[in-house]
Structure 1
């Protein structure tokens, strides 16, 4: 699910709402930030002679886009991450997910409009900002990775709104991907179904938030009819009315960005500007109907969802999973997690990847 809000990004909203967390470092504890960034940089170091740690810009879709490749052994399965947001690069989470790189070679691609790609080209250098263009970009990135690393297929791992793109890639191109893994899995139904909206109204009523309830009710449940501003306001309300999601934003998302060794203070501002710029992709996704696009997948299919996710609830994800036809499929809940489940609980997610996914894509399961 997208995590942008209002006329700015959700991260920017949380940065403001969490002033106590961030103003102290700005006021006098920048040294602590420097120490944490240094420690994270050390944690990120890859020294294995069989490993890889490279990053830079690749010409994709007519513009330069940032691609990072990291892992401790090139013999491990290759993962292509498709991040959410829109515009929310997964690079800030590398220190939290460092253990993943012991078992997988991970390709992190900053989609046009966000992250390092946005920082490099600026708003005028992002080209066509449509879902169809990003879909074609993803195929180009996939071909680049296959050629660069000499692998016939890559393991597709998508999170949040990136799962809209991920499902389409997996459905249409099983020859390119060894499996699909969705987390924070969106299940869009062309505006027909709206459990997150209904649950939000229930929370607002229970909390006696009449002004917010009136605003949400005025939007109506059909997200395909929302403006970008309404879509963003909906996400703001969802996050700020759910204690677990709001806590995750502060303790996982904001802290990961604040202590990222890959982002300077100016880089933080640019990151947020990119999310604001890229939010135009979000409403485009609301018209997607996964049921109409099809539930037949000719590759292994996995969904690992936060058990308490209110942005992309596990119920619809489970219903889609049950309807999917695939050669192998598996579903699991990540305990104690809402949205951003794989980043809040990276050890649980890694365990699922190692016990359920890796044996399938490496052939170990068939050999048992």
Structure 2
């Protein structure tokens, strides 16, 4: 049993930060494009685009480029009614954007929220909008945190809302939780999906799971490879190569998607996204190459364990089978932390991709758990009435 083949695993080494992404060929030059065969997905994208159109009188559907943190960054905003609360989804990565996969699960959210997806610095459309050598020196966690705060304030002015529901997924859960702690006045509630609490503990648990499953399945190749990594993560700085090898086996045994050894539905979803061109899709991998190595050592030290009090409602969506960002540390943290409202919600048939794996349960939580908190927050006044 060998390693999954590239390119779909090109970024899997950093899945505790985020989700892997599929590599795509760049757009051909203009002359070649004239003679190229028709894109086999273009008709399907048109159908998805038609289905996704917001047609309600007070709805919003716009994708725009905005100055955030000193560079141009791309934002997508969708919802059936502008009066609904804003929900900002902070994607994984640091360069695995949610914009091209959101069509698979987001549409029902738009009945209750105005949903914002944002290609972070170095990700997708934003990667293409800025010279990489200008962005590279800024790849730091605190810069992403400040970008998040800048975007929330921009959204408030644009849509007349004082606060947002902040949702962080995987790597995005580091950025979003730090932003919420830094500026709780901007947050109705925080929702963590595949939440990172302690990177060192997550790495240890994921490794132990992979080795245990390899032994249960008598997978000698996996056993040898994992034992060669011991001690893992160990006292030395983590490297890209070591993380790739560990993730390979943890995800083979359903650590990314419950009950599956592969997650092609996720990797292939951008091909049908109306939001993304071929060049945008190719930029996903280019962004990974720009950002991952630059953030690795800082990421490997992240630990929210000492945080014992949060001044905002907090909800954790925890995949029972998640071995990418294992849920046990999150379950302990949400039990111990003090918050105005808190709840840990188990997704019994999910690993790391619960919005895709259990979209109905995700929607129910956003409506039944989170929305009442938002409606009870008197601070959500019009920005003009502050």
TM-score (norm 1): 0.86
Aligned counterpart, 2:56: 48
Q: Which ranges of structure 2 fall in alignment gaps of 5 or more residues?
A: 1-8, 25-35, 379-386
SS at structure 1 position matched to 2:242: helix
Post-superposition shift, 1:228?
2.6
Counterpart CA distance in 1 for 2:265 and 2:377 is 34
Q: Tell me the SS of whatever aligns to 2:191.
A: strand
Off by >6 Å, runs of 4+ in structure 1:
none
Question: 1:221 — aligned with what?
Answer: 232
Paired with 2:10 and 2:334, the residues of 1 have a C-alpha distance of: 23
Choose between structure 1 and 2: higher helix proportion. Answer: 1
Deviates more, 1:227-236 or 1:318-327: 227-236
Point out the more displaced range, 63-72 or 264-273. 264-273
Listed as ranges, the matches of 1:1-368 within 5 Å are: 4-5=11-12, 10-12=20-22, 30-31=39-40, 33-96=41-104, 97-127=106-136, 128-188=138-198, 190=200, 194-219=204-229, 220-222=231-233, 225-242=237-254, 245=257, 247=260, 250-280=263-293, 281-292=295-306, 294-363=307-376
Whole-Å separation in 2 of the counterparts to 1:179 and 1:29: 45
Q: How many residues align?
A: 351
Which residue is equivalent to 1:23? none
1:125 to 1:212, Cα distance in 2 relative to 1, 3 A: farther
| C-alpha RMSD of the superposition | 2.9
**Pairwise CA distance, 1:181:** 0.3
8 Å CA contact 1:142, 1:176 repeated in 2: yes
Cα distance in structure 1, aligned partners of 2:95 and 2:168: 14
**TM, length-normalised to structure 2:** 0.82
TM-aligned CA deviation for residue 252 of structure 1: 3.0
Runs (5+) with no aligned partner, structure 1: 16-26
Q: 1:318-365: CA deviations, max 9, x gaps?
A: 111111110001111123111111122222201111011101111199
